[in-house]
A and B are shown apart, each in its own frame.
Chain A
């Protein structure tokens, strides 16, 4: 009987002690916040500042020349037209991707690499994230014209 009393007393004490926890228990292995699923527009035209179709008109050669200058400064460390370098070849990119997709990739490379399935696949292949190069939206459109002009005529306006 004495033994039972002792055990009961111990149980009570144990309860009192464990009542002094260190605050709330952490949830085990918290999941990272799930990003919202991509919209159909984002899947097709990329994630970024451009959220609707742009009407940039036909190729404007003057604009393409300005694009050649920007491309030379901000892109050629990693891109070539006809072959793979640090990043993918861009000679025919305007035929594979929409203007909005290209502009979003230039303006928002980190999110495009982290969240967009095409960006994720490119990272798997090229192993490096495209740097943000502080190119304006206007300049990105100029680059698209430069790339369109190359794709159409085969002429590199940097030369």
Chain B
């Protein structure tokens, strides 16, 4: 009985405490949830509803470009660009392999950093998105009606194309630059110690055809052997100009961590590209040898074709006056960002104690007054005081990149102190700051690099997740954070893991892209030389050791699905045409023992996979994409006989 009383007492006490807690703090499920609920409501996109923005995150060392919705942070697609993708067959299929060709051979990887849209009147027009390959310098174009990589152009005479892709106001040019200075003549064999005599910098101007989007290397500018880090095209009054940051003006070639950090100032390069273009058209550029690849997917056939170029136009600033200037800026700057009016040029001196803001109109005045400190290789160096209009004090440690909201505010990512600082373009004073999780690189505001930003969302692209998510071992995905910037204070809404290592990102209102997205490839427009559009044309042909299988796919069979007469040592091309014409009805193809990825074939498309059978036997092939209730039945067999066998070549489907 005594024991029972004790239990009663304890139970009553616990329940009483619970009641007290409930009276004081409300029901437990609501405790402390109010702010989180508000944030959740802002990012919640109900089932069946659409996001307001498409966002494109670079993949960094994945070489890809991932596509997201904002504000939900749902991932829609991961586009392979400078990478092989065993899921889709990109970089494995015969149609796409040429896209990854370079003057160094087939290179199925690169480091993709900075996506930028094609522009009309300075605004993203939703036609194409471009992205750079940093390592073996390249620029790619992705078609935003199909979300597929359709073109890759190699940059000659460049060591690391980092300041790319940034696109001018009406997509006249995509800019590029050498990050690591190297001898301009690429195959030159010299001592590394001869850096100052033999190494050069270069800037690249890639023209874009306004109708087709096709890219071409228009001209390069030879530069002193500094490192060219990031760039931006001007806008509005500065639209004819492009800007680049430099570091390593010390011209170090070893232990740059120390030796490239000695000077108090490096430069922002200002290039009047329109004037440069005039000089090039006047014939002031030299034609110099250069080997580089241009890979383009043919619209009619769907097959990428490589063209090798052997020369490029090179402009020397010594022959091109009034075209290019250095603006001193503190200290090893990383980003250079132009405000929506085109007047302010903000550099992110990663070792600087202030954020310097240069004025475009003051720069023009300084040029007019010839306020030059010196001239380097034909490039006048403007006086720092003559171009600077403000210095933002206390920006945190390691300011990198700045975006804008169109209401007179700038937002700078700060790497070492891991935060975003908001500051006024009027007073150049910090007005707000918020933590980033952890170690932020770029940040991106919806339209924040355009003349007309949407003051809605900001994404912080951070370098390490540490304790933010359930742990997945020593190496985790890179995170991103979504902030609401519509109010006076920045507010964190969400953080989420990403793919690869996103450096920069771009966002565009969904209604600019969505109406133009294709649902199928029209079979009538499929002019692939190995397409087979009607099942009765399906067949197998032998020419020596090369066998071509012309095969159709439709729910739920292949035509043909029984093939005999293949021999060990043959090279077998499966040309697969998906003759479906319904949205999202994709078929896949895989055959046992094929040394590659599968191929996915979109409706109306023809894709080719090559197979080298090495052993006799029966080889099943099947559809890898769950296409219908009878998907498991969508299969076939290939009989492989010995190299010297005389089994006749036959094929069939059903009893026909």
Contact = CB atoms under 8 A, between A and B. Distances in A.
A122 B618 CA distance: 35
8 contacts: A17-B18, A20-B27, A72-B536, A74-B581, A77-B552, A78-B554, A128-B628, A133-B581
A17 B27 CA distance: 8
B12 interface: yes
A16 B629 contact: no
B629 A129 contact: yes
A134 interface: yes
Interface string B541-558: 000000000001011110
Interface of A: 6, 9-10, 13, 16-17, 19-20, 22, 72-74, 76-78, 85-86, 127-129, 131-135
A16 B22 contact: yes
A133 B8 CA distance: 73
Contact of B554 (A77, A134, A135): A77
Contacts of B474: none
Interface of B: 8, 12, 15-16, 18-19, 22, 27-29, 520, 522-523, 533-536, 552, 554-557, 559, 579-582, 585, 628-630, 654
Name, among A22, A129, A131, A135, the residue most crowded by chain B CB atoms within 10 Å (CB to CB). Answer: A131
A85 B582 contact: no
B555 A127 contact: no
Contact of A85 (B8, B29, B628, B654): B654
A25 B473 CA distance: 40
B579 A77 contact: yes
A13 B15 contact: yes
A127 B630 contact: yes
B555 A16 contact: no
A129 B557 contact: no
A9 B554 contact: no
B515 to A, nearest CB: 18
A20 B29 contact: yes
Contacts of B19: 13, 16
B536 A76 contact: yes
Nearest to B524: A73
A36 B541 CA distance: 53
Nearest to B14: A13
B629 A127 contact: yes
Contacts of A16: 19, 22
Contacts of A86: 557
Contact of A134 (B535, B559, B581): B581
B524 to A, nearest CB: 9
A6 B552 contact: no
Given A77-B535, A127-B630, A129-B628, 9 more contacts: A13-B15, A13-B18, A73-B579, A74-B581, A77-B559, A77-B579, A128-B629, A128-B630, A131-B585
Nearest to A6: B8
Contact of A9 (B12, B29, B520): B12
Contacts of A9: 12, 15
A133 B555 CA distance: 11
Contacts of B533: 73
B603 to A, nearest CB: 8
A22 B29 contact: yes
Contacts of A131: 554-555, 580-582, 585
B12 A6 contact: yes
B29 A133 contact: no
A29 B182 CA distance: 69
B580 to A, nearest CB: 6
Name, among B12, B522, B555, B559, the residue most crowded by chain A CB atoms within 10 Å (CB to CB). Answer: B555
A135 to B, nearest CB: 8
Name, among A13, A86, A129, A134, the residue most crowded by chain B CB atoms within 10 Å (CB to CB). Answer: A134
Nearest to B9: A6
Nearest to A73: B534
B580 A128 contact: no
B534 to A, nearest CB: 5
Contacts of A128: 555-556, 628-630
A76 B556 CA distance: 13
Contacts of B28: 20
